[in-house]
Every structure is written in C-alpha cells, then in structure tokens.
Amino acid sequence: MFGEKNIRFAKGIQVNVISRPLINQLVRAGTSVGANYLEADDAESKKDFRHKISICRKESKEVRHWLRMLVAQEPALKEQARTLWQEAKELNLIFGAILRSKKTDV
C-alpha cells in the first residue's frame, strides 16, 4: 500500500529536468520498502530477516529525504507530501522497533 501511495503521488508531479531524477528515486525507495518486507517475511534465517528489515528501515528513511527534495523543487506539493512523509516516519519507527526486539536476536 505504501509503495502504491508513492506511485500515485509521483504520477501527479509535473516532470521536468529537476523533478525526473527525484521522482525516480522516490518511486524506487517507496516500492522497495514493501518488496523487502515480503522478502523478510520469507527469510531463511533470523540474520536474513534482520537484514531485510534493516533495508526496509533504510528505504523508508530515504523516502522522507526524496519527499523533502521534491517539496524543495515544488513547494505546492508540501501538503500532499506531508502524509507520505509521516507514514514513512512511522514505518521507520516500526522497523527500528522490530530490529530492537528480542524476537529477532541472532
């Protein structure tokens, strides 16, 4: 769902020389969160699970960065980006909590 929201947001952005690479990065990071979570769910070991969850955490943090850059490029996107930024922050906190959990100790 998070990746899909990022795609819908990105589709509404005016494409220009500055926004094109930012949009690409946002979509890559935003869709990577879900893909890596699915891989974590099918992990072959606790170590593999932790690795995939750590990637989810990094990618959700990266989404926040690309959203900030897109808003810097186009301030009118601020309100739309705010919701996605908040969701990315919450996901980052969730993945961090999972990594700190004793259930994932190797």
Provide the residue ranges of all domains of the chain, joining segments of one domain with +.
Answer: 2-104
Mean pLDDT of 70-85: 96
Look up tokens 């900030």; give the residue.
68
Long-range contacts of 33-36 (CB under 8 A, 24+ apart): 33/2, 33/3, 33/59, 33/60, 33/63, 33/91, 34/1, 34/2, 34/3, 35/3
- What pLDDT sits at residue 102? 60
**Residue 91: pLDDT over 90:** yes
Mean pLDDT of 26-30: 97
- In this prediction, what percent of the chain has a pLDDT beyond 90? 94
Short-list 54, 67, 61, 57, CA closest to 26: 67
Output the pTM of the full model.
0.89
- What pLDDT sits at residue 105? 53
Class of domain 2-104: mainly alpha
Mean pLDDT of 2-31: 96
**Residue 106: pLDDT over 70:** no
